Copies of this chain bind each other. A is one copy, B any other.
Amino acid sequence: MILTRLTNLRKSKRWSLQYTADRLGIAKSTYAGYESGHRRPSLEAIAQIADLFDTSTDYILGRVDHQAPQLDDDTSVPCMELTELSTLNLSVDGLSLSKEEMQQFIAFIRAKRQLEGKTT
């Protein structure tokens, strides 16, 4: 478990040990023990902590390096609406697509569908 991450998660929300412990339903000294490394949370505790801080147990444990939790969809089969995506990084032949290319593509698809609708 990476102690600094635990502390940073809490401090990024400007929460005190007391408040955090209250939210978790444990004693202040208990949660303080987690951050200091004197105590280690149980599996349930670390899951609750991950929930509270909107991150993953893997991040707290140091198994991944980004704070965002897994989203439980769109991982195996990505599913997204291109027109609603503000930032994304799609690439063709290793070269990422620019916003202009994305808009051109969207226009391309719309035009193509309109043609098909008329001819069919």
Contact = CB atoms under 8 A, between A and B. Distances in A.
Interface residues of A, number: 53
A58 B79 contact: no
Copies of the chain in the assembly: 2
A42 interface: yes
A94 to B, nearest CB: 7
A104 B63 CA distance: 39
Interface centre among A41, A66, A68, A94 (most CB of B within 10 A): A66
Interface in A47-100: 47, 50-51, 56-58, 61, 63-66, 68-72, 74-83, 85, 87-97
Interface string A5-49: 000000000000000000000000000000000001111001100
A70 B56 contact: yes
A90 B82 contact: yes
A43 B71 CA distance: 22
Contacts of A82: 90-92
11 contacts: A40-B42, A41-B43, A56-B63, A57-B57, A63-B70, A66-B70, A70-B70, A81-B91, A97-B109, A105-B105, A108-B108
